[in-house]
């Protein structure tokens, strides 16, 4: 899929991995919609890259559809690229000091991370299948964001690991379903990256976290995630796969 001139939507595109991806796609000539719950940050990124901001809650169908429609209208070829980076961490143990953690705590994380991804995926793909295919027969590509927590989640990551594991699990069946329609689906599972969540930690803590990564022994840079997304978009033979982007790190129990 060619990025130049393509319409793209990045859910969760106002910060972190999503903002880096929006910048990369715009730099390659895409018309990018930054769809994010944080309207102010979305507008800042949109102004910076010459894109379009759309306030978006991935758990709300009308909100996601509005972002998809905006992106689809930016090109005569329709929406071609969708990247979903929206998610929340919210750590919580299954059983805390005061007993079982309220179910609502887990429900919110799974609703945003897993159902939000499904919501963005279904509506973006729904728009893509109506596109005219390119010379490779492609109509679009959807990139989801999981986490290495899907494979080696730590204590306190009950809902987060479950939600990201769900994204890993849906990748192949959705890719198989959409294959006949020319829409590819790939998931990236990042390791420890420099994100707004990490930025809130002291420098010593960030360095300690980065040092556990075998090589390179540091936190990942958001542009490295964006680089991989750009390659996924450009490589038509990448489909139905989950790619760990983690410097060979495996998370300890805690």
**Residues recognised as catalytic:** 160
Sign of CA dihedral 84, 88, 92, 94: negative
CB 206 within 8 A of CB 198: yes
CB 120 within 8 A of CB 86: yes
> Which residues does 4 contact at the CB level (< 8 Å), separation at least 6?
28, 29, 30
Query: Which value, to the nearest 10 degrees, does the dihedral of the CA atoms of residues 14, 16, 22, 23 take?
Result: 110
Biggest alpha carbon–alpha carbon distance for the chain: 60
Kindly state the helix (H) or strand (E) to which residue 84 belongs, with its residue range.
Answer: strand 79-84
**Strands (DSSP E) along 132-206, which ranges?**
140-145, 183-190
């Amino acid at each position: 899929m060619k990025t130049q001139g393509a319409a793209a939507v990045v859910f969760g595109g106002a910060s972190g991995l999503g903002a880096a991806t929006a910048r990369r796609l715009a730099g390659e000539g895409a018309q990018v919609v930054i769809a994010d719950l944080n309207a102010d940050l979305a507008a800042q990124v949109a102004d910076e890259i010459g894109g379009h901001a759309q306030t978006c809650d991935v758990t709300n169908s009308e909100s996601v559809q509005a972002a998809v429609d905006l992106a689809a209208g930016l090109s005569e070829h329709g929406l071609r690229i969708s990247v979903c980076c929206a998610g929340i961490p919210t750590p919580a143990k299954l059983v805390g000091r005061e007993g079982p953690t309220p179910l609502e705590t887990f429900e919110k994380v799974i609703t945003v991370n897993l159902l939000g991804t499904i919501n963005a995926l279904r509506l973006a793909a729904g728009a893509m299948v109506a596109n005219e295919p390119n010379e490779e027969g492609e109509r679009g590509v959807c990139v989801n964001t999981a986490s290495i927590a899907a494979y080696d989640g730590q204590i306190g990551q009950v809902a987060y690991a479950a939600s990201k594991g769900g994204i890993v699990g849906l990748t192949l069946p959705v890719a198989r379903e959409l294959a006949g329609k020319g829409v590819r689906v790939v998931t990236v599972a990042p390791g420890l990256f420099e994100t707004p969540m990490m930025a809130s930690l002291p420098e010593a803590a960030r360095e300690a976290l980065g040092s556990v990564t075998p090589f390179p022994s540091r936190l990942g840079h958001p542009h490295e995630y964006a680089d991989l997304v750009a390659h996924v978009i450009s490589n038509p033979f990448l489909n139905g796969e989950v790619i760990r982007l983690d410097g060979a790190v495996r998370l300890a129990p805690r």
